Amino acid sequence: MLFTTGRRASEAEQKSWGRSLPVFARDLVDAGLGDVEMLIEYHLPLTSQRADVVLAGVHPNTGAASYVVVELKQWSSAYRFEGSPELVEVPGMPGGPKLHPVAQVKGYCDYLADFARAIENQPDALAGMAYLHNATDPSSVSDLRSFPTGITGRLFTGADRADMFAFLQSRLSGDAAGHVAGDTLMRSAVAPSQQLLKVAAAEVRDRPQFHLLGNQQLAVDLVLHSVEQARSADAKRIVVVTGGPGSGKSVIALSLVGELARRGRTVLHATGSRSFTQTLRKVAGHRAPRVQKMFKYFNQFMSAERNGLDVLILDEAHRIRETSVDRYTKAELRTDRPQIDELIAAARVPVFLLDEHQIVRPGEMGSLEQIELHAKSLGLDVHHVHLGEQFRCGGSEEYVLWVKRLLGLTDGAHTSGRAIPNSPSASPTPRRNSSTC
């Protein structure tokens, strides 16, 4: 890990590898697949996310390159979170609900199919599976079986080894040429990433244009689940999604707008940025001007009906101000009511998407701590999802850390002239005037 990424593996990562990888390797040998190539911690192109294992080999029927993406879990038991098929509660594991492991591995497969040119136009080249090797009692994870499965998303436990062997043998032969398929994938050209604003119209009006990964999918599923729970209980829930530049906050926002609209739920999108809102209106509504009305500003909810919306998506919530009052505010609306209170009141499920490092003007106060404090004063709970992944800078977390240190946003000395591992630039030293900053 140090050689490949420039950082040392954490103690938790090392424990996870030690407990899962040898078990899975022995299973491969028992299945007669000892010559299959195992790509460990496979780095998904243009992101900082990694799949636990990608098996690379030869398809037993076609002789073509064949890959199986594997998500390894040490869970001995798990069940659905509040009845949701997409969210999982793991006893004894902190951090709230987790994304269903089948949904997680399916997202990896979908992403690879879009971005790895080596398997472009080869629909049968990819398969995926989640393996809960410590779950030896079938009843301990029976709740997870309701999630729909397919070639790119199967679920196996320690009690399903025979079925897992059969699945793997249907995708991979025991041929020793697996290293060729592994090299092909590792050296694959990468397709350009999809641009947010160019496909916003199709996202909102027609169908999803983005593949959500990891905590991106978790955030969307948590919001969708919260909407149904809030409606059935006649209650209010708050969701906060935090992440740095390029972590996918606005992709989540547009995905939610599109999915909630398709479900018939009342939803609006709001920001505190005039340029961002106008751009979204122009692009998302270029074929249907009425769609432009779905994109509002934070200060437009001063007199909104309480819980008049199912969901209010607050993109760039770090731009929230102390109050909505400005020199253009009508006299009857001039109060000292906090803007955050107006926004929370406007919907059953207010969703805040923010990056606390992007607060740039005096009076901006949209931080996780401030939202949680205000929610507590109202007797409301906050569900928080952090997007630790990076989808810019070629997925280089080290480059982002370098920029943060350069700007004094995190601890650690800035090292000038040092080569940055996985830097997206051809130059070994990131430039001070990089547009990524």
**Residues 102-132: tens digit of each pLDDT:** 999 999 998 888 778 888 778 789 999 999 9
Q: Which residues pair with 271 in a beta bridge?
A: 297
Lowest-pLDDT range of 68-72, 188-192, 320-324, 401-405: 188-192
The yes/no answer on whether domain 197-384 falls in CATH 3.30.990.10 is: no
Contact 437, 403 (CB under 8 A): yes
pLDDT at position 392 is 59
**Mean pLDDT, to the nearest integer, of 223-252?**
90
Q: What angle do CA 362, 367, 372 make, to 5 degrees?
A: 135
Query: Which helix (H) or strand (E) covers residue 12, if one does?
Result: helix 11-30
SS3 content of the chain, % helix, strand, coil (to 5): 40, 20, 40
Q: Average pLDDT in the 429-436 region?
A: 34
* Average pLDDT over all residues of the chain: 82
Burial class of residue 89, CB neighbours in 10 A (0-12, 13-18, 19+): middle
Pick from 4, 75, 72, 14: which is nearest to 38 by CA? 72
pLDDT in tens, 366-376: 789 999 999 99
Amino acid 5: pLDDT: 66
Residue 435 has pLDDT above 60, yes or no: no
Over residues 59-84, the mean pLDDT reads: 94
pLDDT-derived band at 254 (thresholds 50, 70, 90) equals: confident
Give the domain ranges of the chain: 2-186, 197-384, 392-437
